[in-house]
Structure 1
Amino acid sequence: MATASSTTSTTTIKAVAVINGANDVKGSLQFLQLPNGFTQVKGKITGLSPGLHGFHIHALGDTTNGCNSTGPHFNPLKKNHGDPLSQERHAGDLGNIIAGPNGIAEVSVMDTQIPLSGQHSILGRAVVVHADPDDLGRGGHELSKTTGNAGARIGCGRESLGFSHLSSCEW
Structure 2
Amino acid sequence: MIKRTILIKIFFILVIMGVSELGYAQVNNENIRLEVLRKNVVDKEFIFGKWDDKGGTETSLTYLGILKTDKGRTYKIMNYIWTWGMSCRSTSRILVFNAKNHYLGNYYTITASNLPKKIEDGILIFENKSPECNKKIISKISFKNGLPKEIFKRCNSDYGDSFTFDGKN
**Does TM-score exceed 0.5, indicating one fold?**
no
- Between structure 1 and structure 2, the one with the greater Rg is 2
Greater RCO (Cα-Cα under 8 Å, separation 6 or more)? 1
With the length of structure 1 as denominator, give the TM-score of the two structures: 0.28
Where is the helix percentage greater, Structure 1 or Structure 2?
2
TM-score normalized by structure 2? 0.28
